[in-house]
Amino acid sequence: MRFATVVAIASCAAARIVNLASYDGTYQASATSTFPLTFTTENSQSPYRDFTAAVGLSTLEEKFDATALGTWIANIDFVDLDQDVTGTGNFTVQINLPSSAFTHGSGSYVLTAAVLQSYGVAWNTANMYANTTFSVSVPSA
């Protein structure tokens, strides 16, 4: 009986989003550019579902709080993308991030994702915040 309980619990375990991957190089912003936002995941003992994320942009100078979203950029629906229950590893979502979003020109920026997660047997909910800093080159006007 105990073995069956352990198997049932283990089958409900899933990975959850834990961070944003670093962006290598300098992002070349254009009027129509998209940014490859990569979410990293890891296994959990509890069942997890990642439902949605709000993504925001700020400069390094504006980023004084890890949970501050900054200027809203995009919403991501993980259920629609079939990424609400994942395995360990990562997955990438392309988000529209044109040069007009970088109001302070070229430099260092921070993308923040506020991920709505549900977890555990009672399916509690919580927000998980993840940040990644990257360099941007914006063409001169």
Quick: pLDDT tens for 6-65.
444 444 457 899 999 999 999 999 999 999 999 999 988 888 888 999 999 999 888 888
Residue 72 has which token pair?
């809203």
Cα–Cα distances in angstroms (integers) from residue 4 to residues 7, 12, 120, in the given order = 5, 13, 19
* Cβ–Cβ under 8 Å, residues 44 and 15: yes
pTM for the whole thing? 0.85
Given the structure tokens 């995009």, which residue do they identify?
74
**What value, to the nearest 5°, has the Cα angle with vertex 68 and ends 17 and 35?**
55
Specify the CATH class of 2-137 in words. Answer: mainly beta
Query: Is the pLDDT assigned to residue 82 strictly greater than 50?
Result: yes
Kindly report the length of the chain: 141
